[in-house]
């Protein structure tokens, strides 16, 4: 099966069957689905900026920015609007089409909203799509960001509902879903995905994709992050995920969510050109460009020019 009729849920069994397919068959199906909706020689380019770094009260076990772990990261304050505007100009000049602003907060304070809205307007004025990820939102906060012109809100579910408590204890999976519903109700597109390589089971990967694919509609943008292990965090010693396993997750995500952008997100810095190419062949059609993610390194323009040049794929 290549798709889901409207209103029909993807079952766990159907998703498990996809994961069990021989890799060549899985990639063939993912590519077939991909080509119906997207040009196979285009990859969307997003640029991240950490607008407020570190000191976060949440205890996400993967994160460099949690105040619960000693990761050596220096906490900062919310950036000035003009400094953010300058970074948006740079992102545009470097070829990004979407600008994603992230803050290490559990939730924004109402008094932060005017600055966040001004940042959105500044990035829009540069001709960029905008994305923001600043934690849980109330209904009025979601509406205010929407009115400022926000295109996407990133709020990841990270892992399967049944695995969530192993990774985060300061909020629940349901808290995540409540914010996602408020974002959607405000008319902002969802960017929602997860992380692989956190020691999750095969069943957890099925559960993560089941939860994403059965959102109605599925998120317009789905980041698949390969864990960047951060020394000092509970997951800091996690071994790297084999590239074929990552490509399998991407291929299944592509088949389950044929119209979504599937982003090969964190983790590219440690991946070979061949491993990244495999993920693109599996149906990933978006990446983060630039030499930084939020607090960790990313391949940067020179390495990406070589990779995408070799592949004959355009960053758009
Ligand atoms: N504080 C906000 C929140 O958590 O919703 C926004 C920023 S947070 C850093 C955005 C997402 O980045 C997380 O949900 C997680 O999926 C991803 N992320 C954070 N640290 C990561 C890491 N070390 N490796 C891979 N992905 C990571
Ligand atoms: C997402 O899913 N990945 C991005 C973005 N959304 C905000 C963040 C990746 C962070 C990687 C670790 C870091 O640089 O701190
Ligand atoms: Fe805070 Fe977000 Fe990091 Fe969790 S992922 S500790 S909420 S910055």
**pLDDT (mean) for 240-252:** 97
Query: Per the domain annotation, does 176 fall within a domain?
Result: yes
280 pLDDT tier (thresholds 50, 70, 90):
very high
301 pLDDT tier (thresholds 50, 70, 90):
very high
Catalytic residue selected from 4, 98, 117, 131? 131
Catalytic residue selected from 29, 100, 117, 254? 100
Mean pLDDT rounded to a whole number for the chain: 97
Query: Per the domain annotation, does 6 fall within a domain?
Result: no
In tens, the pLDDT along 209-242 reads 999 999 999 999 999 999 999 999 999 999 999 9
- Out of 46, 47, 48, 131, give the residue to mutate to test ligand 2, the one with the largest number of ligand atoms within 8 Å of its CB: 48
Query: Per the domain annotation, does 224 fall within a domain?
Result: yes
CA of 36 to the centre of ligand 3 (A): 36
Catalytic residue selected from 4, 47, 56, 98? 56
In sequence order, the 6+-apart residues with CB closer than 8 A to the CB of 195 are 62, 156, 158, 159, 225, 226, 227, 266
Bond before 217 cis per omega within 30 degrees: yes
CA of 293 to the centre of ligand 1 (A): 10
DSSP run (H or E) holding 123: helix 113-125
Would residue 56 show up in a list of annotated catalytic residues for this protein? Answer: yes
CA-nearest of 293, 296, 295 to 53 is 295
The reply to whether ligand 3 has any atom less than 6 angstroms from the CB of 65 is yes
Cβ–Cβ under 8 Å, residues 300 and 261: no
Residue 3 has pLDDT above 60, yes or no: no
In tens, the pLDDT along 13-72 reads 999 999 999 999 999 999 999 999 999 999 999 999 999 999 999 999 999 999 999 999
Cβ–Cβ under 8 Å, residues 172 and 145: no
Cβ–Cβ under 8 Å, residues 235 and 62: yes
Catalytic residue selected from 47, 98, 117, 191? 191
CA of 154 to the centre of ligand 1 (A): 10
Ligand 3 atom nearest 294 alpha carbon: 8
DSSP run (H or E) holding 68: none
Query: Per the domain annotation, does 22 fall within a domain?
Result: yes
Cβ–Cβ under 8 Å, residues 200 and 225: no
Residue 7 has pLDDT above 80, yes or no: no
- Bridge pairing between strands 42-52 and 221-226: unpaired
In sequence order, the 6+-apart residues with CB closer than 8 A to the CB of 50 are 102, 103, 104, 294, 295
Per-position DSSP letters for 95-106, written without gaps between them: T-SEEEEEE--S
Domain coverage including residue 255:
13-315
Number of domains in the chain: 1
In sequence order, the 6+-apart residues with CB closer than 8 A to the CB of 236 are 229, 230
CA of 121 to the centre of ligand 3 (A): 24
In tens, the pLDDT along 77-90 reads 999 999 999 999 99
Ligand 3 atom nearest 105 alpha carbon: 1
Ligand 3 atom nearest 58 alpha carbon: 6
Instruction: Give phi and psi for 312, each to the nearest 5.
Output: 65, 30
CA-nearest of 168, 145, 146 to 158 is 168
In sequence order, the 6+-apart residues with CB closer than 8 A to the CB of 225 are 156, 193, 194, 195, 196, 265, 266, 267
Residue 8 has pLDDT above 90, yes or no: no
Please report, for the domain that includes residue 112, its CATH number: 3.20.20.70
DSSP 290: S
Query: Per the domain annotation, does 3 fall within a domain?
Result: no
Query: Per the domain annotation, does 299 fall within a domain?
Result: yes
Query: Per the domain annotation, does 2 fall within a domain?
Result: no
CA of 28 to the centre of ligand 1 (A): 31
Ligand 1 atom nearest 233 alpha carbon: 23
Burial class (CB in 10 A: 0-12, 13-18, 19+), 167: buried
The residue whose C-alpha atom lies closest to atom 11 belonging to ligand 1 is: 156
The reply to whether ligand 2 has any atom less than 6 angstroms from the CB of 150 is no
pTM above 0.95, yes or no: yes
Q: Look at residue 287 and give its three-state secondary structure.
A: strand
The reply to whether ligand 3 has any atom less than 6 angstroms from the CB of 58 is yes
pLDDT > 90: percent of the chain:
97
Would residue 279 show up in a list of annotated catalytic residues for this protein? Answer: no
Query: Per the domain annotation, does 275 fall within a domain?
Result: yes
CA of 51 to the centre of ligand 2 (A): 13
**pLDDT (mean) for 190-196:** 98
In tens, the pLDDT along 136-148 reads 999 999 999 999 9
Residue 277 half-sphere exposure toward CB, CA atoms < 13 A = 11
Residue 1 has pLDDT above 50, yes or no: no
């Amino acid at each position: 099966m290549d798709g889901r009729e409207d209103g029909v849920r993807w079952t766990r069994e159907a998703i498990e069957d996809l994961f069990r397919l021989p890799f060549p068959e899985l990639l063939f199906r993912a590519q077939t689905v991909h080509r119906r909706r997207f040009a196979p020689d285009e990859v969307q380019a997003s640029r991240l900026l950490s607008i407020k770094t570190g000191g976060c009260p949440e205890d996400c076990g993967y994160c460099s920015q949690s105040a619960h772990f000693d990761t050596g990261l220096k906490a900062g304050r919310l950036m000035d609007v003009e400094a953010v505007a300058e970074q948006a100009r740079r992102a545009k000049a470097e070829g990004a089409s979407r600008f994603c602003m992230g803050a290490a907060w559990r939730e924004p304070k109402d008094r932060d909203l005017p600055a966040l809205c001004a940042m959105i307007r500044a990035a829009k004025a540069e001709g960029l799509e905008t994305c923001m990820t600043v934690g849980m939102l109330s209904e009025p906060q979601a509406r205010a960001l929407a009115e400022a012109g926000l295109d996407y809100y990133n709020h990841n579910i990270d892992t399967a509902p049944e695995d969530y408590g192993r990774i985060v204890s300061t909020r629940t999976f349901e808290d995540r879903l409540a914010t996602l519903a408020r974002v959607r109700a405000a008319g902002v597109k969802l960017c929602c995905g997860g992380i692989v390589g956190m020691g999750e089971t095969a069943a957890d990967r099925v559960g993560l994709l089941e939860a994403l694919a059965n959102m109605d509609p599925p998120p317009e943008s789905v980041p698949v992050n390969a864990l960047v292990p951060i020394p000092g965090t509970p997951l800091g010693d996690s071994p790297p995920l084999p590239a074929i396993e990552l490509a399998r997750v991407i291929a299944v995500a592509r088949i389950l969510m044929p119209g979504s952008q599937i982003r090969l997100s964190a983790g590219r810095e440690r991946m070979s050109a061949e491993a990244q190419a495999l993920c693109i062949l599996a149906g990933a059609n978006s990446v983060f460009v630039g030499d930084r993610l939020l607090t960790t390194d990313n391949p940067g323009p020179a390495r990406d020019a070589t990779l995408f040049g070799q592949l004959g794929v355009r960053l758009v």
